[in-house]
Structure 1
Amino acid sequence: MSIAERLAMAPELRDTTIWDKPRESDIPKDDLEEYRRRKKAVTAYLNGTTFATIDQDYGYAKSQIYRMMNRCLTVRPNGTMFGFHALIPGVSIAPYMRKSPVNPELAAQAKGLAGAFIQLMAEHEGLYRYVEKHALKAGGKSAAVIAKAIRAEFLKKCAKVRAPNQYPFNTDDQGARALVRFIDRMREDHYATKSGNEEERADLFDQPLTAQPSGAQQLRPFEEAEHDGHNGDFYFVIKTRGRRGEWIYTTPMRLWLLILIDRSSRAILGYAYRLGSTNYPAISVMRSFVHAITPWKPKDLTLPHLAYKEGAGFPSGVAPRARGRLVDLVCFDGAKANTAKVTMRGLTRVMGATINYGRVRYPIARPFIERLNQTLETHGFRRLPMGFNPKGPKEERESALKAASEHAVTTDELEQVIDVMLANYNADSHEDLVNRSPIEYIRMWDSQTVSPLRRVDNPEELAQRFLRLEFIKTIRGGGDSHRTPYIELWWARYTNDVLRKMKDSIGKKVRIIVDVDGDIRLIRGYLRRGSKELPLGILKAGPPWHLTAHTLEQRQAAHRANRIKKLVVKPGTDMMQTFKEVRQREAEERKSATNQLVKAGRIADPDMLNRERDARARVAKKDWIKLK
């Protein structure tokens, strides 16, 4: 049916006063002028203006007007029209539908899967009905809980219609995360249709946001802070040493920059970065707070023409009374890394802060961090030889890729660029601070106030607690396996001389403490006996995780490669060294292997001196197995 026929059947559609309209304050500034021009052109068409006049006044041809009208008249799942919302540049009014099948020859894929789950649901109605039945009858349960409950049966049903090398069986998580997202969208569309009025549902969010500042100048430093992750608009190529000491290079990469900014002083308190274009995990969020608490020291700069400004730095290192200061309230968006248990526990229990979550893609409650991200892009990253404007011409992005390949840097040099850029920002004057820099403002406030400050005397110890997790595990062993008692955590078996002799404690619970960003070969255990705990000392991981110090992320990377049969670990050898050697060998032929090696971080040399001692430690001094 043509647009003219639709308007003839429903003349009320010509009345644009009843169309849904977005709030112009929610539209990005770069897109606002284009949106207004489109709105005027569509309104002029409905008022009877000729196409020639519209083309002359607004620059839109007849075909473009028809396309915009079709978008405006498109109906949402709840039965309402998109209206003027469809004219916002970059807004998609139809869900992405994948057409090409997933390549079954690639094992454990992590990329190139956009729309694969929706395609699976569209091709097999029985799977869709099974998920729908459980998703819509689960009451107030979260999508993650529902997905976990039905996942086993869901995969069994998938096995009846899909081969083992087809989606979802050829992915890293077998579609677990896609199932959660699908249930979320299904329930959202269902309840929106049931209510029949999306505008009423949107009004629920119009109540005042507690995270929105009424006046930043009324705050004191460290009282309220904003945190966000931003994907930098610049490419870089990392170089690292190969097996023979030669340089090996990654493909052009991007990074996520996570920043914590103080609302009162506009000072950047801390930051962290994450290599790659994929999203960042909760551990990266916690690293930014660790950086904010740990006293800052300037880096040794090796790149030419790179220097700190006078007065540059971070409050923890250059403002005396800011050392060990704690933030009272942190404003986040709804990203999964921000709502993770690790993040909530670290900020509320360890730091004692309050968390306030705003709406995703609605930055009005976090104006300072959003403005900072824009400033860093326009006056920082995009001015680098490898910087680019995402909305610029194609040639600009190609030039950035070429420059990144010509100016390869080490990880240390990349950290220098980031540290200098953010530290120098803290030395720049701001109009809102009466032309003071953020560092000068904090020093001035500290020199004039007599109010008590929330701070810790040992910030390094508190920073370690941010990345410290606790688990309750069961002592395994004995039985038909005749194994000495051990605790299993993250694909490794932990034990020590004390635990090996505790044959009577098999099956009992143990509380363990692990530093996920430290050497996770070593954990501390406590045997639970009623309300008391018996310390077990330090438990050490057994082969193949026993020789090389590594973090949780490094173990996850090596385990992922081992699970898809990319590694062959010989008995007695070390998994991390095998992972490193295989990736270095593969890097000689393909740069993507260098990407994985660099993302895993620096892998230390194996602890060869302890190999003989570890071999002796695996044999208990006293046999706990009772022989008949």
Structure 2
Amino acid sequence: MNTLPPTEEQLDEWNEPDLTGRTPRVIAAYEKRKVALRSVVRGNSVLAAAKANGVPRNTVTKMVHTCMALAPDGKPWGWRVCLPNRVRMPSTKPPPPVPAQPGPGAFNRLLRALPGLVPVLADFNKPLPTRDRKSTAFERLFEKFLATVRKHTEGVGYPFNAGDKGRRALLEYLKRMKQDLPQSEGEEEHTEIAHAKQLQEVFEFGVMERLEFDAHRMDADFYLEVEDGAGKTLLREVSYVWLLLIIDAASRLVLGWSLVLGRGYSQIDVLRLFNRALKPWEPRDLLAPDMRYVPDSGVGTEVATGRLQRGLLSAMDNAMAHHAKLTTTNLSRYLRGVLHLGPAHVPETRGILEALFRQLENGAIRHLPGGFEPARDADTPKRATTSDSAEKHPLNPIALHDLMDVVIAGYNATPLSALGEQSALGVVRRYVGGGGWTFESSRTQADADKLALLRLTVTIKGNQKEGRQPYVNYMRGRYRAFGLRDRWDLLNKQFQAVISMEDLRYITLLTEKGDVFARLTALPPWSRTRHDFDMRKLIIRWSNRGLFSIVGVDDAISAYRNFVRANARQYGAAVDQLARQWALYGPASTKNEMKPSPAFTPRNGHVSFDHVKDPTK
């Protein structure tokens, strides 16, 4: 390999490569590298040429060293070295030794130590043996393989000390070789053949073209300070705290985040986060007086450009809350992009997001009181990373949300080495300001509001003989509207309906054309306090177990909160619910909610609605 740069005369003799079919991104990179190489030839240093043209220094060094080397066509690489991912020079490292013992990767190390075996195996095109069929050709190849290895090792070491002498490893290698792998079609191009394990290895994504979403369990123990029914204060441990994040893979910009306290998160939590990512970020009113946001920091694209950009592809794994019917249906319909559900428990498919989770753990979360490094195996048990005890520093969910908002907003404004010492906000700002393609929509606000909507079919019920006015049942709740009064003709008819999973107090009936027919309101005890789908499901579940009853109460949500507060000492799940409600709606007033709810008496007898407003409306 030539280590001296070429001369100006040699540069003029090189032919320009054919750029037909190349993307504008590749052409722009080629022009930058070409100018950088010419700058080195004219006497500038590699570092100066790299900085002046925005090309990595290692890339410029490699171009200088390989531009005069001979390509497979017998000519110097020339300007072709400036094309990204074009040149693959053979390694100059000495071959590794033949493995002495069998083990994981021993066969591949054997092939690297004896490269002459690779063409012999590559020429094999006969059928491979199966359980039902033998292959004489494979057996002959196996004997030839052992004979070739024996010439170099004299029958010592691998594969001769393996139980099957490497037969199974050879068979698996040939099976992989027979798969349809990408082949190099260009005469002048020498590329490496490999499996593409990630989508970004096939496609080159730009800003806001690929979003990554996942949830991460925070490596810290948290204790919540609660009061029981007698007014005594006690500490109870919160099961887990989950961090949900959406990040743009190209710019590393965090678009939205949320915390979920409890043993798990639901489809409502996922949709709630995407709803937040489609709305402008607003700084929180920080609880701690000494806590401050980093100047010019924030979350989302609106902070960088003043406009809310939308992603084209959202990648996530197929966890239960991610591939739930409501999640996939609403994200496909209102996110207006591609939804890519990858395999669960394979974080490599969302490498950018997983790297950010590690940064947040090492830089912030594990420094909280109760922070720890989780156990990896029997030899490396769980280890505390801070001397501050979680019991001595009880959790304040509001303060924890403040801290994470400040940390994540500050991350977006921090220069990153992976971005060439630019911040994520700066990358997006420069991309949009330079005329980069963006996806915007005037319906973003409406789409965000519709993410939590559920479409369902309901049946109008009632009894004209008994004077029971038309109503609709949904999740132990009865819904009525003045528009259905005395509409006996609608009994047993089905309607398409829409209900918000964020507020189950109202159901909207639709006509066949999709117009609003009537808006129904829940009757007590579900009408007073706003509650989401998860809250009602929990109340029903605890009622079915006989631990809690809403019979005779006027407000089921208030009664449930009183119950979990009074039984926090007895039930661990009650602590999670207290922390979750505190995080969503703020700390409830103990003095007001601990009072017994007034008994609710249903209407009976003859009732006229002519001059009386329904209190549930």
* TM-score of the pair, normalised by structure 2: 0.61
Find the counterpart in structure 2 of residue 410 from structure 1.
396
Q: Give secondary structure in 2 for the equivalent of 1:577.
A: helix
Instruction: Note the C-alpha offset of 1:459.
Output: 4.2
Instruction: Note the C-alpha offset of 1:436.
Output: 0.4
Instruction: Note the C-alpha offset of 1:288.
Output: 2.0
Pair 1:212 & 2:199 matched: yes
Identity %: 24
- Which amino acid in 2 is paired with 1:547? R
1:584 and 1:254 map into 2 onto residues whose CA distance is 19
Change (3 A) 1:461 1:429: same
- On the 8 A contact 2:367/2:386 being kept in 1, the answer is no
2:551 and 2:177 map into 1 onto residues whose CA distance is 58
1:426 and 1:348 map into 2 onto residues whose CA distance is 27
Pair 1:546 & 2:532 matched: no
Matching residue within 366, 371, 374 for 1:390: 374
Pair 1:569 & 2:550 matched: yes
- Which amino acid in 2 is paired with 1:340? A
1:498 and 1:445 map into 2 onto residues whose CA distance is 53
Instruction: Note the C-alpha offset of 1:329.
Output: 0.6
Pair 1:232 & 2:218 matched: yes
Instruction: Note the C-alpha offset of 1:360.
Output: 2.5
Change (3 A) 1:387 1:199: farther
2:348 and 2:245 map into 1 onto residues whose CA distance is 17
Instruction: Note the C-alpha offset of 1:200.
Output: 7.5
Find the counterpart in structure 2 of residue 311 from structure 1.
296
Change (3 A) 1:456 1:521: same
| Mapping for residues 214-613 of structure 1, pairs under 5 Å | 214=201, 219-239=205-225, 249-278=235-264, 280-303=265-288, 306-321=291-306, 323-391=307-375, 397=383, 403-449=389-435, 451=437, 453-457=438-442, 459-478=444-463, 483-517=468-502, 519-526=503-510, 528=511, 531-532=512-513, 535-587=516-568, 592-600=573-581, 601-602=584-585
Find the counterpart in structure 2 of residue 134 from structure 1.
none
Change (3 A) 1:199 1:257: farther
Structure 1 unpaired stretches of 5+: 1-13, 24-42, 50-68, 70-80, 85-196, 623-628
- On the 8 A contact 1:238/1:409 being kept in 2, the answer is yes
- On the 8 A contact 1:299/1:416 being kept in 2, the answer is yes
Change (3 A) 1:240 1:492: same
Q: Give secondary structure in 2 for the equivalent of 1:257.
A: strand
- On the 8 A contact 1:237/1:249 being kept in 2, the answer is yes
Q: Give secondary structure in 2 for the equivalent of 1:360.
A: coil
Change (3 A) 1:220 1:201: closer
Instruction: Note the C-alpha offset of 1:525.
Output: 1.4
Change (3 A) 1:343 1:593: closer
2:486 and 2:178 map into 1 onto residues whose CA distance is 63
Instruction: Note the C-alpha offset of 1:266.
Output: 0.7
2:227 and 2:568 map into 1 onto residues whose CA distance is 10
Describe the superposition over 1:130-162 as per-residue Cα deviations: whole angstroms up to 9, x where unpaired: xxxxxxxxxxxxxxxxxxxxxxxxxxxxxxxxx
- Which amino acid in 1 is paired with 2:319? A
2:215 and 2:606 map into 1 onto residues whose CA distance is 45
2:177 and 2:465 map into 1 onto residues whose CA distance is 60
Structure 2 unpaired stretches of 5+: 1-99, 110-155, 183-194, 611-617
- Which amino acid in 2 is paired with 1:250? R
Q: Which moved more, 1:356-365 or 1:409-418?
A: 356-365
1:221 and 1:384 map into 2 onto residues whose CA distance is 33
Question: Over aligned residue pairs, what C-alpha RMSD do you find?
Answer: 4.4
Give the number of equivalent residue pairs: 440
Instruction: Note the C-alpha offset of 1:520.
Output: 1.3
Instruction: Note the C-alpha offset of 1:250.
Output: 3.2
2:248 and 2:606 map into 1 onto residues whose CA distance is 51
Find the counterpart in structure 2 of residue 111 from structure 1.
none
- Which amino acid in 2 is paired with 1:371? A
Instruction: Note the C-alpha offset of 1:569.
Output: 2.6
- On the 8 A contact 2:101/2:158 being kept in 1, the answer is no
Q: Give secondary structure in 2 for the equivalent of 1:501.
A: coil
- On the 8 A contact 2:525/2:553 being kept in 1, the answer is yes
1:577 and 1:497 map into 2 onto residues whose CA distance is 27
Describe the superposition over 1:457-483 as per-residue Cα deviations: whole angstroms up to 9, x where unpaired: 464433211111111111122278763
- On the 8 A contact 2:263/2:576 being kept in 1, the answer is no
Describe the superposition over 1:570-606 as per-residue Cα deviations: whole angstroms up to 9, x where unpaired: 4253221221122222236666533333235549789
Q: Give secondary structure in 1 for the equivalent of 2:519.
A: strand
2:244 and 2:606 map into 1 onto residues whose CA distance is 43
Q: Which has the higher helix share?
A: 1
- On the 8 A contact 2:552/2:600 being kept in 1, the answer is no
Larger radius of gyration: 2
- Which amino acid in 2 is paired with 1:374? R
Q: Give secondary structure in 2 for the equivalent of 1:331.
A: strand
